[in-house]
Structure 1
Amino acid sequence: MPKSNNAESCRVLKEARLVERKFLARPQQEGAGAIVRRSIGRFELKYFDPFLVLDEFSVTAPAGFPDHPHRGFETVTYMLQGCVTHEDFEGHKGTIGAGDLQWMTAGKGIVHSEMSAAQGTQKGLQLWINLSSNHKMIEPRYQEIQSKNIAEAVRDGIKVRVIAGEALGTKSPIFTRTPTMYMDFTLKPEAHLQQPIPTSWNAFVYVLEGEGIFGSLKSPPTSAHHLLLLGSGEELDAWNKSSKPLRFILVGGEPLGEPVVQFGPFVMNTQQEIDRTIDDFENCVNGFEKARHWRSETAISLDI
């Protein structure tokens, strides 16, 4: 029998992850005049190990997220439009513009602000990733990448920006304490994506623009602002059968399998640890020492 020259014929078939649950993220008020579409961290889906929150946010000056604390997890801010200024009680400050990434490890404690930095509407995504009990009290850390330096690849009508992990042979330089993959895919009409996902990881898709089919060609199309929780399997299959581009993020992470106790911006393993965290914050100790006399420049200027 003659050998086939078609590389696809030699491809080992992998089990595709099917869509198990689907949510429409509806707008709600958050922070100071900000609008968020929350898909993880809402009453129907409190936690998707290791992910605590996923917000698609929209802020118009002077709206934003004034001075607030965090402990026990990481925040990943990925700007889609406009820019946001941020500052914290350690003196770290700057501006995140369209396409830029900030990966902040709050660890044992940070107090910071995130506010609109330009006229018009600023849009982005913020993902909260839980930290294991071994890492909840580490020193805070930032990883920031400008849009021009984010790893990208293009192939067969597919463009990917690799925030974390690897896709289409391209790797991100971001270090993830909780093993995580985070990709921003854009598929042209008729493009078909097959993206490997570690079998032991939880994974989800959030659609940003257009309309796509995920998991199986028998699945109904999914449009913007929908979260899709993926079942077990080895890869994500996605198709763009529409006449317009499809853009979505694919996020996956290794489950921690630990107890989660959350009180607003504090995420620990036990109620006792939460009580201690509240005491630490109120008394400005154990990582919150600089919170006693700190206010962001934005808070001072706006008197908030």
Structure 2
Amino acid sequence: MDSPAFQKPFQKPRSVMTRFLVKSQQVGDGTDLRESELSSLDPFLMLFHFSVTKPGGFSDHPHRGCETVTYVIKGSIMCEDFTGHRCVIRTGDVQWMTAGKGIIHAEMPEGEGTHTAIQIWINLPHKDKMIEPQHKDVSSNIIPCAQKDGVEVRVLAGEAMGVSSPVYTKTPTMFLDFTMNPGARLHQKIPDSCNSFVYVIEGEGIFGSLVSSPVTAHHVLVLDHGDGLNAWNKSLNPLRFLLLGGQPLNEPVKQYRTFVMCSQSEIDKTVEDFSQFKNGFEKGKDWRSQ
């Protein structure tokens, strides 16, 4: 018998407004990158799904005005920045990095073989864009998990199946990693005020409505508003996908490369600050990652 708390359908389920494939491209030697803009999904900005082998990776580069969330799918990634923070995040670990007023960092593969991760950029409200940089490194063994009726979830942020993540985010965010066995179905509540999307990591699933066509790996599904998401795995293989939701900031967004501010004048000032190593970028003048 279905569990009413978990399997009860929604009065107004979210449907899929848009779906698109995030295509792969080679970026330098040893880096395979899938990149998608999410600028219409306030507060989300970018999605990256990358696989790297040495000597590939992402060498020293700056950020201001946003958060980057790096979730390791397989392998190990070395994260290092000019604040002196240095750590290795491994399979199932996640790092929330708040760039604030400025940071320069690098993300490189640790060890041999292929290392795979997903990174999401989330906008910061204007009041937090110039705060000091911060980090939250969350190891896999403390990320809450739950399992029911052939569905397993890892709660990186927010709540699902009665369990909540201990991670506090500057911008209210839901970040859930679902794995569904063949034949399983899911009804996941999403706060109506949140913008949300799905990214399929592997397998094939049906989202929104049973009459929808199946969606395969590496597709982004932009959801409309409603009570929550319905999903089904009618294939013969496991389905794994991320579900993200975020409270819109409803503020102007001006993005230039890795800088995210609210106006062109703020972007111009950021470019000047970075080039002259001032107003948050001072430590970058003599810093190089190891």
Normalising by structure 2, we get a TM-score of: 0.96
Which structure 1 residue ranges, 5 or more long, are not aligned?
A: 298-304
Q: Deviations over 1:128-147 (max 9, x none)?
A: 00001011011111011111
Residue pair 1:47, 1:53 contacting (<8 A) in 2 also: no
1:26 to 23, 27, 36: 23
Report how far residue 90 of structure 1 moved: 1.0
- Distance in 1 separating the partners of 2:265 and 2:177: 38
2:14 to 6, 13, 17: 17
Aligned counterpart, 1:226:
219
1:113 to 98, 102, 106: 106
Q: Deviations over 1:9-66 (max 9, x none)?
A: 9957431100000010001234664221113x1xxx5442111100111111111000
2:269 to 276, 300, 304: 276
Q: Would the alpha carbon gap of residues 282 and 31 (structure 1) be closer, same or farther in structure 2, given more than 3 Å must change?
A: farther
Q: Would the alpha carbon gap of residues 7 and 224 (structure 1) be closer, same or farther in structure 2, given more than 3 Å must change?
A: closer
**Structure 1 SS opposite 2:269:** helix
**Structure 2 SS opposite 1:276:** helix
- Distance in 1 separating the partners of 2:3 and 2:58: 50
Aligned counterpart, 2:126:
133
**Structure 2 SS opposite 1:282:** helix
**In the alignment, does 2:44 pair up with 1:38?**
no
Q: Would the alpha carbon gap of residues 211 and 165 (structure 1) be closer, same or farther in structure 2, given more than 3 Å must change?
A: same
Which structure 2 residue ranges, 5 or more long, are not aligned?
A: none
Aligned counterpart, 1:254:
247
How many pairs does the alignment contain? 289
Aligned AA (1:85): M
Structure 1 outlier segments of 4+, above 6 Å:
none
Report how far residue 86 of structure 1 moved: 1.3
- Distance in 1 separating the partners of 2:2 and 2:81: 55
Aligned counterpart, 1:55:
48
Residue pair 1:31, 1:66 contacting (<8 A) in 2 also: no
**Structure 1 SS opposite 2:126:** coil
Aligned counterpart, 1:301:
none
Aligned AA (1:18): S
Q: Would the alpha carbon gap of residues 12 and 52 (structure 1) be closer, same or farther in structure 2, given more than 3 Å must change?
A: closer
Q: Would the alpha carbon gap of residues 24 and 12 (structure 1) be closer, same or farther in structure 2, given more than 3 Å must change?
A: closer
Q: Report which of the two structures shows the higher radius of gyration computed on alpha carbons.
A: 1
Aligned counterpart, 2:75:
82
Taking only the aligned residue pairs, the percentage that are identical comes to 54
Q: Would the alpha carbon gap of residues 105 and 273 (structure 1) be closer, same or farther in structure 2, given more than 3 Å must change?
A: same
Aligned counterpart, 1:241:
234
Aligned counterpart, 1:193:
186
Q: Deviations over 1:203-259 (max 9, x none)?
A: 000001110000000000001000000011110000011111110000000111111
Residue pair 1:72, 1:108 contacting (<8 A) in 2 also: yes
Aligned AA (1:248): F
- Distance in 1 separating the partners of 2:134 and 2:4: 43
Normalising by structure 1, we get a TM-score of: 0.92
**Structure 2 SS opposite 1:296:** coil
Residue pair 2:15, 2:208 contacting (<8 A) in 1 also: yes
1:98 to 75, 91, 113: 91
Aligned AA (1:156): D
2:172 to 171, 179, 190: 179
**Structure 2 SS opposite 1:134:** helix
